[in-house]
Structure 1
Amino acid sequence: MHDHQTTHEHHSTHADGHASRAMALSATLHCLTGCAIGEIAGLMIGTALGLAAGWTVVLSIVLAFVFGYSLSTLPLLKGGLTLGAALGLVLAADTLSILTMEVADNLVMVVIPGAMDAGLVNPTFWVSMMVALSVAFLAAYPVNRYLLARGKGHALTHGLHGDEGAASGARRFIPDLAATTLAAVIIAFMLGGLVVSVADEMGAAPSSSGHAARKNS
């Protein structure tokens, strides 16, 4: 009897640990996706408007928080919460995670030579962003685990997400964005950006050498 109870408790603890890791992974991926979208959008806007590097970084950080909060708010709205209630929960659940990511991400971008000055068609930007976001993920994951273990973070929103059957009215049209789907889209986008920037550099190199050859002749 004692052995059976001990085994049951062991399996229960193992299952709880697995669920906690899965929740932390999902929470971190959601935050990471929001941060990536915000930072890339911020750079695009900053470059288009000709903003100084410092203001572009500020804009990217602001948009990272906006998109990070938005991605976490949508499923709560679909679950029936009001916008005010959903935002209140998301602010409490995601702020520390996103803040951790932004600190880690921007530190890496500052440390990598040329990363802050590279444009969207520069391979240095995309490689640096991939490295920075990977470090940000590794930094934020244990933070989310810590919060979940204490009933905070995404533990506050767990169970409040809606589904297709429960949603009604206009809430039915709120997209159900799984963390893995979001991560796959962002990875594909960043790889696409890297490929385009590498192709642009390869196309520019022959043109430059050809121009130099014609000038020498």
Structure 2
Amino acid sequence: MDHSIQNHPAGHTDHQHPPAGSATVTSWTVAAQATLHCLTGCAIGEVLGMVIGTALGWPALPTVVLAVALAFVFGYALTMRGVLRAGVDGRTALKVALAADTVSIAVMEILDNAVMLAVPGAMEAGLTSWVFWASLAFALLVAFVLTTPVNRWLISRGKGHAVVHAYRHAH
């Protein structure tokens, strides 16, 4: 079954079709929206992982591992929520979420954590420090900016969030 963004049923009203010549702008908009969706799940998982790791007094590595694991969990959960609302069963929704988000979340997590580890003192600053929160905000911004082209490329090939789009409109 082809789940490309171009093969959706006629008559759905979830978004407007672009005027001729604006497909590039729309593809960037769709990619940015998909990236923002992933970023939301990643940010929830990252912050929760950092809070838990810090509260337990863990060093940086296990805290980052927990934060990354939770970023994937929350990213997949947000996607599954929308797909489940479209009437898809749980097993299929999980498969859709894995197909839609794995590459995006992985790229985002690599970038986000690389920035956090590269900013001097960010990981050691702790949750009550502006250095930590400013570094995390900067890391998430970098991850968003650099992951958006990846999502645009995936969507243009009928992958990534194009899979979600197809399920939300086909069922």
For the criterion TM > 0.5, the same-fold answer is yes
Q: Which residue of 1 aligns with 2:168?
A: 161
Q: Which residue of 1 aligns with 2:103?
A: 96
> How many Å separate the matches in 2 of 1:44 and 1:157?
31
Q: Which residue of 1 aligns with 2:8?
A: none
Q: Which residue of 2 aligns with 1:142?
A: 149
Q: CA deviation at 1:159?
A: 4.2
1:106 aligns with 2:113: yes
Q: CA deviation at 1:49?
A: 1.7
> How many Å separate the matches in 2 of 1:21 and 1:53?
35
**TM-score where L is the length of structure 2:** 0.84
1:70 aligns with 2:77: yes
> How many Å separate the matches in 2 of 1:24 and 1:77?
22
Q: Which residue of 1 aligns with 2:14?
A: none
Q: Which residue of 1 aligns with 2:44?
A: 37
- 5+ residue gaps, structure 2, are 1-18
Q: CA deviation at 1:33?
A: 0.9
Q: How many correspondences in the alignment?
A: 152
CA offset digits 1:61-90 (Å, max 9, x no partner): 000110111111101000000111011011
**Letter of the 1:115 counterpart:** A
1:17 aligns with 2:24: yes
Of the two structures, which has the highest relative contact order with CA contacts closer than 8 Å and spacing of 6 or more? 2
**Letter of the 1:99 counterpart:** A
**Letter of the 1:117 counterpart:** E
Q: CA deviation at 1:22?
A: 2.2
- Alignment of structure 1 residues 175-194 onto 2, 5 Å: none
The one of 56, 59, 62 equivalent to 1:55 is: 62
The one of 19, 26, 33 equivalent to 1:26 is: 33
What SS is found at the alignment partner of 2:125?
coil
In angstroms, what is the RMSD of aligned CA positions? 1.5
Question: Which entry has the higher C-alpha Rg, 1 or 2?
Answer: 1
Q: Which residue of 1 aligns with 2:140?
A: 133
Question: Is the helix fraction higher in 1 or 2?
Answer: 1
Q: CA deviation at 1:50?
A: 2.0
**Letter of the 1:12 counterpart:** A
Q: CA deviation at 1:48?
A: 1.7
**TM-score where L is the length of structure 1:** 0.67
1:151 aligns with 2:162: no
> How many Å separate the matches in 1 of 2:32 and 2:166?
16
